[in-house]
Every structure is written in structure tokens, then in C-alpha cells.
Amino acid sequence: MNTTFNINNLVRANIKALKPYSSARDEFKGTADVFLDANENPFGELNRYPDPQQSKIKEKLSTIKSVETNQIFIGNGSDEVIDLAFRIFCEPGKDKVLTFTPTYGMYDVSANINNIEVIKQPLINDFQINLNQLQPYLDFEDVKIIFICSPNNPTGNTINTDDIEYILENFNGIVIVDEAYIDFSSQASFIKNINKYNNLIVSQTFSKAWGLAGVRVGVAYASEAIIALYNRVKPPYNVSTLNQEVVLERLNNQFEVSKNIETILSERTKLKDALNQLDIVKKIYPTDANFLLVEVDNADRIYQYLIDKKVIIRNRNTQVENCIRITVGTNQENKKLIEALKNI
Ligand SMILES: *Cc1c(COP(=O)(O)O)cnc(C)c1O
């Protein structure tokens, strides 16, 4: 437990003073025969506003993840989980956040949109946090959020659990652990720690292992106090009825999801073995995600060559020298990639 953390010292004054929008669906939640309260059209199929609290999804996730429903926020993708954190905790033009690079690009973009400076600390020794270098920043009052992406994108590795816990214990701001790839990982989720650390936000998504990137639904797990702040600030109807239905259906089909994860993991091994046979491949970094970070002899050339072959990978040369990031696809897709690379 971090005993010096006080959420009231952290929340922006305008958010503390905010009187949240109270929708018709917030004010009357029961069942009735006639709804004439929200200026909806009485005709059609999607004529009613969605459940602003996404109660059915939260009940299901509460069982699956062993947390209370009031410890769950559902967002329009993880992007919304990230953006709302800036809006709740960071005073534009004044506060700062800290990230460990190379990492996911949205932290920077969201920070820039909110006019927040980003302090960047390089990951070291196969992409782990350098605690010595981080230490002074833990006491900076204007650093409000530390982002930890684990498994990290684009490097694929999980960040050491002890290091994350050290930061949670010793930093008086918010720690966001982005677990977009956790369902592919052999490591446990940090969700089990949301009762222990009141400054922890665990961010997950339906975009990767759950196969619903087109649906745009992300989830934050945190203390009741943090989730209450998210609910104050979010747009009232931030997740559409269609999106809620698709997510619920997928949550009721977990077997299918697990099967796909297993297939992706076994394809990952095959892809890694095949890549290792190629002369152009210098190193494949260990991964806990559904992608491989691969060092090649010339990342720019290989990226361009594959585009000509109509195979698109991610060139990460600007982040990690001569590295490409390859998402694990179907067996057929992976074979097509390998065939192309063999003929380079
Ligand atoms: C893909 C990804 C996400 C997912 O974002 P959504 O907005 O939920 O699609 C989040 N974090 C990281 C690090 C990712 O790579």
C-alpha cells in the first residue's frame, strides 16, 4: 500500500468542481412501460440511447476478473481510457507525465493534444525500467502519471513485476499499467492489485486477444474513487448499443477466444522458427504478445520490399535501430510473409 498517495491532491480543480451531465437514463434507471424522457424517436430499432453505465458488460467482467462493478470503466477504446486520465489529472501547460521508451505512440499523442509535457526514460537491458534513473522523478510534484506498457509495444516483453510494484509504492501520482497484450502473456495481470494500490489503473482492451479492434471498446480497472472520476468526465453515451452487444456476445463466447489465442501462440512459435532460418534476421526479441520485434540487416529496405510484395509489417527503425515489428497472422499469412522474405 502506498500510504502517502492522496487522490484529492491529484485531481484537477475544474474536475473536482465539475457537475457531471445527468442523462435521462441516469436519472431514471428502473423499468417502465412508456419512456418519454429522452427525446428519442419512438420508431425503429436503434432508436433508444445506450446504457450509459454499460451494466451488463460490467457484471460479466466483474465475474471474470474478480473485481467489483464499480472498479470498472468501459471506454471507447483504450484511447479514451488514456485521454480521460490526462483530462482528470493533468493541468494543461503545467503538469507532466512519464513514459518508458520505446513504447506505444498514443501516450505522446494524447499528451500533446492535452498540452502535457512527456518525460521519456529509455528502457535498458532488453527493455526493462532503469529504476536508478527514474528515482528522482518519483518525487517531482508536477509528474502526475507514469505509463507502463506491459507487455510493451513494440518490444513485446513484460516489464519486471517488482519494478512496477516499486513504482506503485514510491510514486504519489497515478500509475497506468497498459495491458493491451496481457491475454497473450505468461505473466499475471496487475488487476489483482487494484485493492492494494489506490494509485493503480490497469488498462485492457477488446482490440487484440478478444479480436474486436473494429468495435472500439477498452476497459480500465482501478479503485472505486478513480473509476468514479472517470464516470464524471466521460461523455454520457460513450459506448454505442451495437458495440455493447458485440462485446457481451464475445464475453459469452470465451471458449472461442481462448482457442484463437492458443492458435496465435502456436503460430508465433512457428513464425519465430521460420524467421530464425533467414540470413536477413539478426535477432528476435523475446515476446509475451502477438507480435515479434525482429532485428534485420536493413529494416527500411525490407519494409519497402514487403510492401511491393503486398505484405505490410511495421517498420520500427526509428524506435529500435533496424527493427521491424511483425504481427502474428494466420498460418497462411505467416507463410506468405516467410516466402516473400526467402526470395529477397
Ligand atoms: C493496440 C494497443 C492498445 C489498444 O488500443 P484500443 O484503443 O483499445 O484499440 C492499447 N495499448 C497498446 C500498448 C496497444 O498496443
Residue 55: give its domain's CATH number: 3.40.640.10
pTM to 2 decimal places: 0.97
Say if residue 221 is in the same domain as residue 276: no
User: CA gyration radius for the chain?
Assistant: 22
The protein residue whose alpha carbon is closest to atom 15 in ligand 1 is 153
Give residue-wise pLDDT tens across range 30-80.
Answer: 899 999 999 999 999 999 999 999 999 999 999 999 999 999 999 999 999
Say if residue 202 is in the same domain as residue 326: no
Cβ density class 171-184: b for 16+ within 10 Å, e for less: bbbbbbbbbbbbbb
Give residue-wise pLDDT tens across range 163-214.
Answer: 999 999 999 999 999 999 999 999 999 999 999 999 999 999 999 999 999 9
Residues found in the chain = 344
Give backbone dihedrals phi and psi of 225, rounded to 5 degrees, phi first.
Answer: -65, -45
The protein residue whose alpha carbon is closest to atom 14 in ligand 1 is 180
Ligand 1 centre distance from Cα of residue 207 (Å): 7
Give backbone dihedrals phi and psi of 144, rounded to 5 degrees, phi first.
Answer: -100, -30
Q: How far apart are CA 126 and CA 18, in angstroms?
A: 44
Give backbone dihedrals phi and psi of 295, rounded to 5 degrees, phi first.
Answer: -90, 130
117-122 and 96-101 strand pairing: parallel
- Is residue 209 assigned to a domain? yes
Residue 301: other Cβ atoms inside 10 A? 13
Indicate if the alpha-carbon torsion angle 172, 193, 286, 343 is positive or negative: negative
- Is residue 9 assigned to a domain? no
Say if residue 241 is in the same domain as residue 269: no
- Is residue 44 assigned to a domain? yes
Q: How many CA atoms lie within 13 A of 82 on its CB side?
A: 28
Sheet of strand 291-296, all strands in order from the earlier edge strand to the far edge: 281-284, 291-296, 323-327, 314-315
The whole domain housing 294 covers: 255-342
- Is residue 4 assigned to a domain? no
Give residue-wise pLDDT tens across range 220-265.
Answer: 999 999 999 999 999 999 999 999 999 999 999 999 999 999 999 9
Residue-level pLDDT at 1:
73
Say if residue 68 is in the same domain as residue 100: yes
**213 CB less than 6 Å from ligand 1?**
yes
Residue-level pLDDT at 70:
98
Quickly state the pLDDT bin for 28 (edges 50, 70, 90).
Answer: confident
Q: How far apart are CA 250 and CA 296, in angstroms?
A: 38
Ligand 1 centre distance from Cα of residue 104 (Å): 8
**78 CB less than 6 Å from ligand 1?**
yes
Q: Which three cell numbers stand for residue 184?
A: 497473450
Q: Which three cell numbers stand for residue 196?
A: 492494494
Position of cell 519465430? Answer: 272
Residue-level pLDDT at 27:
87
CA–CA distances in Å: residue 61 to residues 68, 114, 189, 237: 9, 30, 14, 19
Q: How far apart are CA 269 and CA 263, in angstroms?
A: 10
**103 CB less than 6 Å from ligand 1?**
no
Element (H, E) at 23: none
Which of the listed residues 211, 229, 252 is the one where a domain comes to its end? 252
